[in-house]
A and B are shown apart, each in its own frame.
Chain A
Amino acid sequence: MELKDFSYEGLSSGHLACAGCGAALAMRLALKALGDKVRVVIPASCWSVIAGRHPDASLKVPMMHSTFEVAPSIATGMKAALRRLGTDHITVMVWAGDGATYDIGFGSLSAAAERNEDIIYVCYDNEAYMNTGVQRSSSTPQSAWTTTTPTGKLERKKDIITSMFAHRIPYIATVTLAYPEDFMHKFQKAQKIKGFRFILVLAPCPTGWRFEESRTVEISRLAVETGVFPLLEIENGIWKITVRPKMIEIGSYLKSQGRFQHADPEEWKRAVKDQWDFIEKFAGGQHGCDSAL
């Protein structure tokens, strides 16, 4: 796939993200893939700020801010109205953080998935409440430092992909910044599918993960190569591993970020192995890497 296919820029310069923000780069890639026939709903999150203060807006497509817990329901109403207005070709995308997705909005997310609403739900996952200053969410990985888990989180990260899989929605994918073609390819594929689509974006956060702003993409790649963040696609219930990780030493991921000072590499090794044993059971050989990487 040629990069020139993705010339559209839906995110303006001058947005209010921190330097090195993974969530800002993620939006840029998402809109490049989706184009301008999109309307976006954003619940309370870092992106409530990144989107800009009145009268400046960083998105070039129509956007609605939403309260924390109901973005999928606002998007449901938006899509219903677009159908009524004869503009069903416009894609409705929820763009939510992990707080809205894994925690406070999980009920409305589950309900919209169960109704198979015709929307793309994107969770840009920076694994904590970053906008309020790095507090633990149910997406925060085990042993990670946050301001509310000063000696490391005790519990494991919630498995949102399997939760969404249980909803039997037509399309689920995971993407991250270091693999832009895989990222944009999955967004374009999702756009062509009808019904509820869920895309999980691993969006490294220099501020909350404690790393230098210039290393965002590198850390995104390490997350994949160490097997911490699997790049997957689940289409109509069929699991597919889209990037087969090299499974490099987990320590390189843990040492790259200040938040993992309390992490035990042996424990992480076991967790990554468990995760992959689980995925392989579902993927059952269907791991042809069809995106050009």
Chain B
Amino acid sequence: MNGKVLLTSAEAISYAVKLVKPEVISAYPITPQTHIVEKIAHFVETGELDAEFIRVEAEISALAVVIGAVAQGIRAFTATSSHGLLYMHELIHWSAGGRLPIVMAVANRAVGAPWNLWCDHQDMMSQRDTGWMQIFASNAQEAHDFIFLAYKVAEKVFIPCMVGIDGFILSHTAEPLYLVDSGVAEAFLPPLDFPLRLSNQNPFTLWPILEPPLYHRQRQDLFTDMEKSLKEWEKAFEHWEELTGRRYLPVEGYMLEDAHTALVCTGALSETAKVAVKQLRKKGEKVGLITLKLFRPMPKEHLLETAIHIERFIVLDRATSFGAEGILAQELRSAISGSRPVHSYIVSMGGKEVFPENIQEAYFKCIKYPEGATLWS
């Protein structure tokens, strides 16, 4: 396909999944994720995707079905959001500990109580310490492309990966994008070769009780392999650029060359923040933008390199660590090791609208205050 097509990020993910050809898909409906699996169910029903679609009774079972399938050595997919992701939590740990190369799309949505259907990153960031890789898309093209990249890296390092798309802002908003060509998909993603798969020829027991010293070592392996996966992400991004011409980085910089202050964010907010940066530049402010695409593994070195000359960071968070500060702010502070001021600004929880003007406001508010206090929009 040569021209651009108009799709929501949810549809963009469905089309990517069709080309990735998972053999088992299992899901449970939850807004705003449902469109992803509805479309995939349609592909399976029409025979466009040769796979089994298993309609389960709960999110935790959706992930369980995927775990059961991948452990036999085949590719599988699921998607969820918010409470669905939280309900999966036990198996999020289990599948990472089990080193299964699962890819799951997450339409990022606030968590209750009270009920809220709209976007923030609390759902995915609350799964930060489970051992899954996490990447956040900023637009429909990234949503589409990141599915291929996530499978590529997950199947290389045997660590599962979540692909986050902002609920409604991306999941339900149509944008023009290039669909990946099926030849490109096949060249990029060879069939899954999973060495740990169960077999009756050579039977073994998967995940038996591990004595403390061995368990400790197993966790260390996951930790080191997660760190090493950064190299695989770099390789995958490079290979992707060769095949599609689209270049991605773990950390994306925007108008940073002569900037003193950097705004920092993840997800679709990046697009709004770019407009705000341009507006602030017109007012003479030396400001740029850092967008974290990859959240786990945390690309510390890329971040430090991108921000080497930055004197102050204003982190625009969609997730909160209550009693501490914004989660992304914490992450950034840890990455730069307290060397420069980091302002934590909670820009939007539960879909509170963010316009470029609000980001300008965040900028001017933060530069007036000393570092330390977490400010709310």
Interface residues of A (CB under 8 A from B): 36-39, 41, 48-49, 51-54, 56-57, 59-67, 69-70, 73-85, 87, 90, 107-108, 110-111, 114-115
CB-contacts of B251-299 with A (<8 A): none
Specify which chain A residues have a CB less than 8 angstroms from the CB of B244 in the assembled complex.
Answer: none
6 closest Cβ pairs, A-B complex: A77-B68, A73-B64, A81-B72, A111-B57, A70-B64, A73-B61
Specify which chain B residues have a CB less than 8 angstroms from the CB of A60 in the assembled complex.
Answer: 203
Specify which chain B residues have a CB less than 8 angstroms from the CB of A67 in the assembled complex.
Answer: 64, 90-91, 94
Specify which chain A residues have a CB less than 8 angstroms from the CB of B210 in the assembled complex.
Answer: 53-54
Q: Is B208 an interface residue (CB 8 A)?
A: yes
Is the beta-carbon distance between B203 and A61 smaller than 8 angstroms? yes
Is the beta-carbon distance between A77 and B204 smaller than 8 angstroms? no
Is the beta-carbon distance between A36 and B208 smaller than 8 angstroms? no
Specify which chain B residues have a CB less than 8 angstroms from the CB of A73 in the assembled complex.
Answer: 56, 60-62, 64-65, 68
Is the beta-carbon distance between B208 and A65 smaller than 8 angstroms? yes
In chain A, what residue has the closest Cβ to B25? Answer: A80
Q: Is B214 an interface residue (CB 8 A)?
A: yes
- In the complex, what's the smallest C-beta–C-beta distance from B158 to chain A, in angstroms? 16
Specify which chain A residues have a CB less than 8 angstroms from the CB of B214 in the assembled complex.
Answer: 54
Q: Which of A54, A59, A76, A80 is in CB contact (< 8 Å) with B209?
A: A54
Q: Is B44 an interface residue (CB 8 A)?
A: no
Q: Which of A38, A84, A107 is in CB contact (< 8 Å) with B74?
A: A84
From known contacts A57-B208, A70-B61, A107-B58, infer whether A37 and B69 are also in contact, taking CB-CB under 8 Å. no
Q: Which of A52, A81, A110 is in CB contact (< 8 Å) with B57?
A: A110
Question: What is the bound-complex CA distance between A53 and B206, given in angstroms?
Answer: 11
Determine the interface band of chain B, counting residues with CB < 8 A from chain A. 35 or more
Is the beta-carbon distance between B209 and A74 smaller than 8 angstroms? no
Is the beta-carbon distance between A80 and B54 smaller than 8 angstroms? yes
Q: A54-B205, A84-B52 are in contact. List 19 more A-B contacts (CB 8 A).
A: A52-B209, A54-B214, A61-B203, A62-B205, A65-B206, A70-B60, A74-B65, A74-B68, A76-B26, A78-B68, A80-B54, A80-B65, A81-B23, A81-B69, A84-B24, A108-B60, A108-B64, A111-B57, A115-B54
From known contacts A62-B199, A74-B68, A81-B74, infer whether A51 and B54 are also in contact, taking CB-CB under 8 Å. no
- In the complex, what's the smallest C-beta–C-beta distance from B78 to chain A, in angstroms? 10
Q: Interface code B187-226, partner A: CB below 8 Å = 1, 0 otherwise? A: 0000000000011100111111111001000000000000
In chain B, what residue has the closest Cβ to A55? Answer: B208
Is the beta-carbon distance between B203 and A81 smaller than 8 angstroms? no
Question: What is the bound-complex CA distance between A210 and B52, given in angstroms?
Answer: 47
Specify which chain B residues have a CB less than 8 angstroms from the CB of A53 in the assembled complex.
Answer: 208-211
Central interface residue in A51, A65, A76, A107, by most chain B CB within 10 Å: A76
Specify which chain B residues have a CB less than 8 angstroms from the CB of A111 in the assembled complex.
Answer: 56-58, 61
Question: What is the bound-complex CA distance between A75 and B52, given in angstroms?
Answer: 14
Interface residues of B (CB under 8 A from A): 23-24, 26, 52, 54-58, 60-62, 64-74, 76, 90-91, 94, 198-200, 203-211, 214
17 inter-chain pairs at a CB distance below 8 angstroms, sorted by A residue, are A41-B68, A51-B205, A53-B211, A60-B203, A62-B204, A64-B198, A65-B207, A65-B208, A69-B60, A76-B26, A76-B54, A76-B61, A77-B70, A78-B68, A81-B69, A107-B57, A108-B58
Is the beta-carbon distance between B208 and A85 smaller than 8 angstroms? no
From known contacts A54-B214, A67-B90, A85-B74, infer whether A62 and B200 are also in contact, taking CB-CB under 8 Å. yes
Specify which chain A residues have a CB less than 8 angstroms from the CB of B68 in the assembled complex.
Answer: 41, 64, 73-81
Question: What is the bound-complex CA distance between A110 and B58, given in angstroms?
Answer: 12
Question: What is the bound-complex CA distance between A82 and B66, given in angstroms?
Answer: 13
From known contacts A37-B200, A65-B206, A70-B91, infer whether A80 and B52 are also in contact, taking CB-CB under 8 Å. yes
Specify which chain A residues have a CB less than 8 angstroms from the CB of B208 in the assembled complex.
Answer: 51-54, 56-57, 65
- In the complex, what's the smallest C-beta–C-beta distance from B265 to chain A, in angstroms? 35
- In the complex, what's the smallest C-beta–C-beta distance from A172 to chain B, in angstroms? 20
Is the beta-carbon distance between B61 and A65 smaller than 8 angstroms? no
From known contacts A36-B200, A85-B72, infer whether A77 and B67 are also in contact, taking CB-CB under 8 Å. yes
Specify which chain B residues have a CB less than 8 angstroms from the CB of A80 in the assembled complex.
Answer: 23-24, 52, 54, 65, 68-69
Question: What is the bound-complex CA distance between A48 and B61, given in angstroms?
Answer: 20
From known contacts A74-B67, A78-B68, A80-B24, infer whether A63 and B56 are also in contact, taking CB-CB under 8 Å. no
Specify which chain A residues have a CB less than 8 angstroms from the CB of B65 in the assembled complex.
Answer: 73-74, 76-77, 80
- In the complex, what's the smallest C-beta–C-beta distance from A164 to chain B, in angstroms? 16
- In the complex, what's the smallest C-beta–C-beta distance from B136 to chain A, in angstroms? 27
Question: What is the bound-complex CA distance between A80 and B198, given in angstroms?
Answer: 14
Question: What is the bound-complex CA distance between A36 and B208, given in angstroms?
Answer: 20
Question: What is the bound-complex CA distance between A60 and B316, given in angstroms?
Answer: 54
Question: What is the bound-complex CA distance between A48 and B208, given in angstroms?
Answer: 7
Is the beta-carbon distance between B66 and A77 smaller than 8 angstroms? yes
Specify which chain A residues have a CB less than 8 angstroms from the CB of B90 in the assembled complex.
Answer: 67
Central interface residue in B26, B52, B73, by most chain A CB within 10 Å: B52
Question: What is the bound-complex CA distance between A41 and B71, given in angstroms?
Answer: 12
Is the beta-carbon distance between A57 and B205 smaller than 8 angstroms? yes
